[in-house]
């Protein structure tokens, strides 16, 4: 949030009218948006919805900094390529990164289920420590609560991250212009489909691994290459790339055009999506990000990403146009086109 | 934590050998200490246990600040005098306050149970907003997850707070000296016994209300009156005053002597404790704090507390002595004395 936002609880403008909370309200798509914008934002922030980005920027003691918080409830706790502890660190590191901040420190809150085996817990504590060390963030403190057996699915992890602002970059959907290019750091959908397979809900085998990782090295490379020409970044977790890009389209009032043949998708993800009737653009990622860069710097930005370890599969996947204003249009492989909305409902619960 | 602590995961010194997590590991007493010191601290902080205080002090972007995190899993969600949302804000505000910081901003993570009624949720969002406004902290962001029905007792709330350091005060158990006085801001045990009664587990009626509130105005008054002569502060939540003071005794290596007749305890709390064989010193508080102040400033500090609204019942309840080194001794009403240990086990689960 920009500093100086005051609570205004006298005129809450509460628009959330659904009688109870459903799984979809946590899935990151339209239902989440209705809950956050219709209930939380009016009471927490008054009329402003500024603070709804990945991380808030605020001033503490005269220093500008970024802060973000996330809770992790993924099931199963361990999956190919990662685990809840690793996800908690990387998710928070990534929210700071795409807000244009260097991750510096995290604090960790644990809600543990009575009966949780110590070896399972120890593995996650180790995963948190390792991921923090790898991402270069200090662990600055923590808290532990225990709830009765049968609650909390083993463990829930809440992480809050603090970061310092990267110089020369300001993320603002209002600065996006027609002609700007959309960059994607790598293949989409690996995390969501990995979790689905790990749950055994799908009779399918795959060599897929979650993409969980810190995107900060890639963000840093991008910002160094394109600096003030980076208009917007977002890590498309819950709700997938389609949801992040629909939010951008709505916030900037412009159209977003994606070229389907440019979007990297692993075969296993494509296969699972076809089987389930899902769109890979709706599947969660935990180690990718999207960026909008002005056209004249897009090639330099892409080269910088591709030259950074882990960014080899980065692509320019689309561009900003005047139309369709407020929407995301995908130009398909076969010369057609389709509008892709935000995630509706909850095809893949509990993926982070 | 002091800034500059590095992760040292090569020599973890893990001493936690219990096979699984039990409710007692979240109760704030000895079992919690074993878990945090034996498993979390070695992996998160290497040899250092500095970060185990109420809030970590660290430097971000050249500015000194305090950060603390807490998860709240209290059952029932609403109880006389407060609710989980209010508790989450005040608990975090109080951790910052007793670390010698002015609470400035919080972020809020919600884990909601599918099926939670919107009116119940809205009341807690409002409680969070109201408590934040009352405590003078901005809400800087949030996150929401939803888990299946049956998993999260309605809702769990994680709050992380940021604060700026109060000038002229440094909280450090090593600075505590024999002769220093122990101040208590008001009656103990109200919160824990209120929760017990609200659960209906005790066939007893009482007019008791949780003491949940921000202690910052009292801390601020104390620091203004006694500044550098305030050696240590702590809000005795889980584990109660006895646990906080045992931790202090251990950390400073001195003896803590309490005068039972000076410790304010409401009759309803005293009655419930007698009935249950509990010690009010082990019962959780959510709106009180303990302070150690050098003898020459103790009276001025007490007057400052008593002159601040909500501090009328503050008392000097004990003093620091050479002996019994590392322990807490209570001089009883009847001229005897007894050693009071940290909370052992889990007499009152889920009180915050």
**Each residue of A299-322: pLDDT tens digit?**
999 999 999 999 999 999 999 999
Domain A173-339 top-level CATH class? alpha beta
Shortest Cα–Cα distance, B313 to chain A (Å): 30
Identify whether A324 is preceded by a cis peptide bond (ω within 30 of 0): yes
Contact B141 A68 (CB under 8 A): yes
Q: CB contacts < 8 Å between A and B, how many?
A: 294
Q: In what order do the strands lie in the sheet with A315-321?
A: A230-234, A290-293, A181-184, A315-321, A255-259, A328-331, A337-339
Shortest Cα–Cα distance, A332 to chain B (Å): 33
In A, minimum Cα distance to B17 occurs at A118
Shortest Cα–Cα distance, A186 to chain B (Å): 25
**Which of B14, B60, B69 shows the shortest C-beta gap to A63?**
B60
Q: Helix, strand, or coil here: A340?
A: coil
Task: Give me the pLDDT at residue A239, please.
Answer: 93
Taking a C-beta distance cutoff of 8 angstroms, is the pair B187, B264 a contact?
Answer: yes
**Which of A58, A139, A156 shows the shortest C-beta gap to B140?**
A58
Task: Give me the pLDDT at residue A71, please.
Answer: 96
Contact A146 B27 (CB under 8 A): yes
* pLDDT classification of A1: cutoffs 50, 70, 90: very low
In B, minimum Cα distance to A64 occurs at B61
Q: Do domains A53-165 and A173-339 have the same CATH topology?
A: no
Task: Give me the pLDDT at residue B206, please.
Answer: 73
Chain A contact set for B55 (CB, 8 A): 141
Chain A contact set for B126 (CB, 8 A): 9, 43
Please, what is the average pLDDT of chain A?
92
Shortest Cα–Cα distance, A217 to chain B (Å): 19
Contact B116 A21 (CB under 8 A): yes
Superfamily designation of domain A53-165: PurM-like, N-terminal domain (3.30.1330.10)
Contact A5 B108 (CB under 8 A): no
Backbone angles phi, psi at B168, to 5 degrees: 80, 15
Task: Give me the pLDDT at residue B344, please.
Answer: 86
Task: Give me the pLDDT at residue A12, please.
Answer: 56
Taking a C-beta distance cutoff of 8 angstroms, is the pair B153, B73 a contact?
Answer: yes
Contact A151 B153 (CB under 8 A): yes
Interface test with A, best of B145, B161, B162, B348 (most A CBs within 10 A): B145
Contact A160 B160 (CB under 8 A): yes
Question: Which class for B105: exposed (0-12), middle (13-18), buried (19 or more C-beta within 10 A)?
Answer: buried
Taking a C-beta distance cutoff of 8 angstroms, is the pair B225, B14 a contact?
Answer: no
**Which of A6, A62, A125 shows the shortest C-beta gap to B63?**
A62
Shortest Cα–Cα distance, A149 to chain B (Å): 9
Among the listed residues B184, B341, B323, B173, the one whose alpha carbon sits nearest the alpha carbon of residue B248? B173
Question: What is the tens place of the pLDDT at every residue in A46-83?
Answer: 755 554 667 899 888 788 999 999 999 999 999 999 99
Q: Kindly state the tokens that stand for A150.
A: 């049968």
Question: Which class for A39: exposed (0-12), middle (13-18), buried (19 or more C-beta within 10 A)?
Answer: buried
Q: What is the ipTM of this complex?
A: 0.93
| Cα-Cα-Cα-Cα dihedral sign, residues A245, A246, A251, A256 | positive
- Termini Cα distance of chain B: 24
Chain A contact set for B25 (CB, 8 A): 112, 144, 146
Chain A contact set for B73 (CB, 8 A): 111, 145, 147
Among the listed residues B154, B64, B170, the one whose alpha carbon sits nearest the alpha carbon of residue B117? B154
Widest pairwise Cα distance in chain B: 57
Contact A19 B56 (CB under 8 A): no
Shortest Cα–Cα distance, A116 to chain B (Å): 5
Taking a C-beta distance cutoff of 8 angstroms, is the pair A112, B30 a contact?
Answer: no
Interface test with B, best of A145, A161, A199 (most B CBs within 10 A): A145
Beta strands at B328-331 and B255-259: parallel, antiparallel or unpaired: parallel
Taking a C-beta distance cutoff of 8 angstroms, is the pair B25, A111 a contact?
Answer: no
Task: Give me the pLDDT at residue B200, please.
Answer: 84
Angular region, A233: left φ>0, alpha ψ -120 to 50, beta rest: beta
Residue bearing the bigger pLDDT, A200 or B210: B210
Domain boundaries, chain B: 53-165, 173-339
Contact B140 A1 (CB under 8 A): yes
**Which of B58, B139, B151 shows the shortest C-beta gap to A45?**
B139
Question: Which class for B267: exposed (0-12), middle (13-18), buried (19 or more C-beta within 10 A)?
Answer: exposed
Q: Helix, strand, or coil here: B263?
A: coil
Shortest Cα–Cα distance, A263 to chain B (Å): 28
Q: Percentage of chain A with pLDDT > 90?
A: 81
Contact B21 A116 (CB under 8 A): yes
**Which of A63, A64, A69 shows the shortest C-beta gap to B142?**
A69
* CA–CA distances in Å: residue B200 to residues A6, A249, B203, B205, B276: 39, 52, 7, 9, 14
Q: In what order do the strands lie in the sheet with B315-321?
A: B230-234, B290-293, B181-184, B315-321, B255-259, B328-331, B337-339
Chain B contact set for A158 (CB, 8 A): 69, 71, 109, 111, 158, 160
Above 50 in pLDDT, residue A286? Answer: yes
Task: Give me the pLDDT at residue A3, please.
Answer: 34
* pLDDT classification of A172: cutoffs 50, 70, 90: very high
Chain B contact set for A107 (CB, 8 A): 56, 67-69, 160
Span A280-293, mean pLDDT?
A: 97
Task: Give me the pLDDT at residue B185, please.
Answer: 98
Task: Give me the pLDDT at residue B352, please.
Answer: 83
| pLDDT by 10s per residue, chain B, length 352 | 333 333 344 455 899 999 999 999 999 899 999 999 999 999 998 755 554 667 899 888 788 999 999 999 999 999 999 999 999 999 999 999 999 999 999 999 999 999 999 999 999 999 999 999 999 999 999 999 999 999 999 999 999 999 999 999 999 999 999 999 999 999 999 999 999 999 887 777 778 999 999 999 999 999 999 999 999 999 999 999 999 999 999 999 999 999 999 999 999 999 999 988 999 999 999 999 999 999 999 999 999 999 999 999 999 999 999 999 999 999 998 899 999 999 887 767 677 8
Shortest Cα–Cα distance, B323 to chain A (Å): 32
**Which of A35, A138, A146 shows the shortest C-beta gap to B5?**
A138
């Amino acid at each position: 949030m920009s500093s100086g936002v005051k609570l205004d609880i006298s005129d809450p403008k509460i628009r959330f009218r659904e009688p109870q909370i459903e799984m979809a309200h946590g899935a990151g798509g339209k239902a989440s948006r209705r809950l956050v914008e219709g209930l939380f934002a009016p009471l927490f922030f008054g009329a402003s919805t500024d603070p709804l980005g990945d991380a808030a920027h605020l001033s503490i003691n005269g220093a500008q900094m970024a802060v973000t918080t996330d809770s992790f409830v993924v099931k199963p706790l361990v999956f190919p390529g990662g685990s809840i502890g690793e996800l908690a660190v990387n998710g928070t590191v990534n929210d700071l990164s795409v807000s244009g901040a260097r991750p510096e420190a995290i604090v960790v809150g644990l809600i543990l289920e009575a009966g949780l085996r110590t070896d399972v817990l120890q593995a996650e504590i180790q995963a948190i420590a390792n991921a923090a060390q790898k991402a270069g963030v200090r662990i600055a403190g923590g808290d532990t609560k225990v709830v009765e057996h049968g609650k909390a699915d083993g463990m829930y992890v809440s992480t809050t991250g603090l970061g310092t602002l990267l110089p020369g970059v300001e993320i603002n959907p209002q600065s996006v212009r027609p002609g700007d290019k959309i960059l994607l750091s790598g293949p989409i959908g690996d995390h969501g489909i990995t979790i689905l397979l790990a749950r055994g809900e799908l009779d399918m085998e795959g060599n897929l691994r979650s993409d969980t990782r810190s995107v900060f090295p890639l963000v840093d490379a991008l910002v160094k290459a394109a600096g003030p020409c980076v208009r917007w970044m977002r890590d498309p977790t819950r709700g997938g790339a389609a949801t992040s890009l629909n939010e951008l389209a709505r916030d900037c009032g412009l159209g977003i055009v994606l070229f389907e043949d440019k979007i990297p998708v692993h075969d296993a993800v494509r296969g699972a999506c076809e089987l389930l009737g899902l769109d890979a653009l709706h599947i969660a990622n935990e180690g990718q990000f999207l960026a909008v860069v002005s056209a004249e710097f897009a090639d330099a930005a892409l080269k910088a990403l591709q030259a950074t370890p882990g960014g080899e599969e980065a692509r320019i996947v689309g561009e900003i146009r005047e139309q369709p204003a407020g929407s995301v249009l995908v130009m398909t492989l076969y010369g057609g086109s389709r509008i892709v909305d935000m995630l509706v409902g909850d095809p893949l619960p509990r993926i982070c």
